Amino acid sequence: MGDILVITEHLKGEFQDITFEMLGKAKELAGVAGGQCVAVTFGSMSGKAGELGAADFVISVGGSDDFNPESYASAVQSVVSAKSPSLVMVGSTSMGMDIANSVATALNMPTVSYCADMSASGSGFSVTSSMYGGKMNVVTNVDGSAVAMVLAGAFNAETGKSAGSPSVEDFSAESGDGKIRFKQLIEPEAADVDITQSDILVAVGRGIGSKDDIELAEELAEVLDADLACSRPLVDAGWMSKAHQVGKSGMKVKPKVYIALGISGAPEHIEGMKSSSTIIAINSDKNAPIFDVAHYGMAEDLFDVVEELVEELE
């Protein structure tokens, strides 16, 4: 088998976690398959090649630091055509989606989406895709060059943050004027809290009943010196802001303690909090899926339990 190409992602001069998640897995696969782990950078990011120590070497295609789906996809297409890798790993992100589909279509390569796990298998790779919000896993055997779109959070980013000094190869990719121009980066307003950095989270779900009842969860969070989080239904109802949402379409969190109040445990939500060190669930439904991942659980009325907890902690 040949090399494994990792298409890096960056924002404002910093590599994103998805880059290191893919690098760690690519290094592992390359070691088994007998190929090399190769990172592809854009713009001036080759200057930070030292952060990509998990890669055997780095290919720098230059160009602009500002993401342009047309020029970036064209550059990756040129690299893949020249290097003929066995596997191209791209993040299943807004940037990755723009690149992966264009490259695969132009080069007539198969694409495997929603990749949650990968392993070397025979002369190719076995890829597990997490479909329908995690309700179904599909295994695809890839024998021949393919594009794999990797779900954010599927692999441990720390394994890809190896120190090192990979050599950098400047690659002259074909470029043209194209039709797309980068104008500006519009960032969302700063949130009042970053729940991805919280040590303790008190998360509420639809079982809280009403917007007014969230106040009880806020009291518990206050006495625990914790931050408040929620499942998607509360954001959809307008009860809490998107900055507090945990799940596949929200934030992925890894607090030391995660207290789930009235959260049933839909796969979409569990994907965002399953890596918490300690998960405590309180739900009146003893068959709620949240109990399958909780370390401690109580099938009780959340209001009775939380009121007693607050009283005891105070």
Q: Is the confidence at residue 183, as pLDDT, over 80?
A: yes
245 and 116 within one domain? no
Q: Is the pLDDT of residue 182 over 90?
A: no
Average pLDDT rounded to a whole number, residues 113-128: 89
> 199 and 166 in one domain?
no
Determine contact, residues 134/267, Cβ cutoff 8 Å: yes
110 and 31 together in one domain: yes
pTM above 0.75, yes or no: no
The stretch 222-242 carries a mean pLDDT of: 94
| Residue 169, Cβ density class (10 Å: 0-12 exposed, 13-18 middle, ≥19 buried) | middle
What's the domain count of the chain? 2
Domain end: 133, 153, 170, which one?
A: 170
Domain range holding 246? 195-313
Does one domain contain both 9 and 149?
yes
190 falls within a domain:
no
The reply to whether 157 and 280 lie within a common domain is no
Query: pLDDT at position 189, please?
Result: 65
Q: Are 52 and 39 in contact (CB under 8 A)?
A: yes
Task: Please give the Cα distance from 8 to 311 (Å, whole number).
Answer: 50
Long-range contacts of 229-232 (CB under 8 A, 24+ apart): 229/195, 229/198, 229/201, 229/202, 229/203, 229/204, 229/253, 230/203, 230/204, 230/205, 231/203, 231/204, 231/205, 231/206, 231/263, 231/266, 231/269, 232/268, 232/269
pLDDT digits (tens, 9 = 90+) for 133-175: 666 889 999 988 999 999 887 888 888 998 788 999 999 876 6
CATH of the domain at 265: 3.40.50.1220
Do 8 and 46 sit in the same domain of this protein? yes
> Could you tell me the strand order of the sheet in which 146-150 lies?
136-142, 124-131, 111-121, 146-150, 87-91, 4-7, 37-41, 57-60, 167-170
Query: Does any domain span residue 142?
Result: yes
In a domain, 185, yes or no: no
